[in-house]
Amino acid sequence: MAYSDKVIDHYENPRNVGSFDKNDPNVATGMVGAPACGDVMKLQLKITDEGVIEDAKFKTYGCGSAIASSSLVTEWVKGKTLDEAAEIKNTAIAEELALPPVKIHCSILAEDAIKAAITDYKSKQEK
């Protein structure tokens, strides 16, 4: 199957690969897996005390579309509040990357990773 130019661009030049210290109170970690294929995505957000995402990093063990989806999301979340980031939909990711139907679940993984990171951050705040 042919990947779109945008997928290839993110796949060959992934943005913001890496990780932050997950024990940092300002770091949120979202780790999700895709049951369909076994791929795993880790997304981390660095959040200011005011609740704005100032930085993001990812590590994805998966297909090109999953890597491209997570790379794209790290760009999209920067500067957003947590509420704004929670509104990022997999459909927008799939549209931006022109993902074919069989690769839609890769973009769902990225949406789920954002949500998982936000949940992690909220549970940290409650401690």
List residues near ligand FES by CB under 6 A. Answer: 34, 36-37, 39, 62-63, 65-66, 103, 105-106, 109
* Residue numbers annotated as active site: 37, 106
User: What is each CA distance from 13 to 8, 28, 71, 116, in whole angstroms?
Assistant: 8, 24, 9, 25
* Smaller CB separation from ligand FES, 29 or 70: 70
Residues near 32 by beta carbon (within 8 Å), at least 6 away in sequence: 40, 41, 109, 112, 113, 116
Q: How far is the CB of 34 from ligand FES (least distance, A)?
A: 5
Q: Which of 27, 32, 21 is nearest to 54 (CA)?
A: 27
Strand 53-61 to strand 40-47: parallel, antiparallel, or no bridges (unpaired)?
A: antiparallel
Nearer to ligand FES, 39 or 120 (CB): 39
Secondary structure letter of residue 23 according to DSSP: T
For ligand FES, give the closer residue by CB, 39 or 111.
Answer: 39
Shortest distance, position 40 Cβ to ligand FES, whole Å = 9
Smallest distance, ligand FES to C-beta of residue 41, A? 8
Residue that has been written with the tokens 């880790």 in this structure = 42
